[in-house]
């Protein structure tokens, strides 16, 4: 019985978390969501520019080998798929106003977190493979008359860039974004818990 009373007294002496100000939390969440939305919007713009450039190359450049066209179509397919997923993420994060319904917004933030985990996880590798295959097929004809040393340097540079972005930049970007989203979710959950 003494152990229970001691445990109860220790539990009751624990400092209570301070109550959050609704206005402060909503301002923090709005600011954080705006940063996330701008990042996704930049991704949409970059993907759109790449698609327009690649589509223009596909339509207006003349190639002798079908491999070049297949490579460009593979790249276009990967970029369009990425663009569709980015637009879906942007709509998910901007669909609700946090000030009108924080509970619905919390749900959409969790959905956004799940979607981003898919985009930055499994889909990223499929996207990287599509771009690598597309570039490899496209450059067969483009580099047909180039010196072998140039070809080797080009493929080493491309491979190095993909390895660097996959194993270094991607992880840092994902961690930073996940930290932001988790922080926003935690703030909204604490705020929601105050009113239960």
Range from 17-21, 53-57, 135-139, 142-146 carrying the lowest mean pLDDT = 17-21
* Residue listed under structure tokens 């301070």: 18
pTM for the model stands at: 0.78
| Alpha carbons 49 and 161: distance in angstroms, whole number | 20
| Alpha carbons 72 and 48: distance in angstroms, whole number | 15
Task: Please report the pLDDT score of residue 74 as a whole number.
Answer: 94
Q: Do residues 181 and 119 lie in contact, with contact meaning Cβ atoms separated by under 8 Å?
A: no
| Alpha carbons 66 and 182: distance in angstroms, whole number | 47
Residue 100 confidence class, pLDDT cut points 50, 70, 90: low
For the chain, what is the mean pLDDT?
Answer: 82
**Nearest-CA neighbor of 162 among 140, 122, 133?**
133
Q: Do residues 76 and 105 lie in contact, with contact meaning Cβ atoms separated by under 8 Å?
A: no
Q: Could you tell me which residues come within 8 angstroms of residue 59 by beta carbon, excluding any fewer than 6 positions away?
A: none
Q: Rounded mean pLDDT of 93-101?
A: 72
Neighbours of 50 (CB within 10 A): 18
């Amino acid at each position: 019985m003494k152990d229970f009373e001691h445990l109860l007294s220790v539990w009751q002496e624990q400092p209570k978390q301070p109550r959050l100000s609704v206005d402060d939390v909503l301002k923090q969440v709005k600011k954080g969501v705006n940063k996330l939305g701008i990042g996704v919007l930049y991704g949409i713009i970059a993907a759109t520019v790449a698609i327009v450039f690649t589509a223009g190359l596909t339509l207006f450049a003349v190639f002798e080998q079908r491999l070049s066209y297949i490579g460009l179509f593979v790249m276009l397919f990967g970029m369009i798929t990425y663009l569709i997923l980015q637009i879906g993420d942007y709509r998910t994060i901007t669909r609700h106003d946090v000030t009108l319904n924080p509970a619905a917004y919390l749900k959409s933030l969790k959905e956004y977190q799940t979607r981003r985990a898919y985009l930055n996880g499994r889909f990223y590798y499929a996207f990287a493979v599509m771009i690598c295959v597309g570039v490899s097929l496209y450059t067969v004809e483009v580099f047909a008359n180039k010196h072998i040393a140039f070809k080797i340097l080009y493929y080493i540079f491309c491979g190095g860039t993909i390895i660097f972005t996959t194993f270094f930049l991607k992880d840092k970007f994902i961690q930073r974004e996940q930290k932001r989203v988790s922080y926003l979710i935690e703030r909204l959950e604490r705020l929601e818990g105050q009113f239960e």
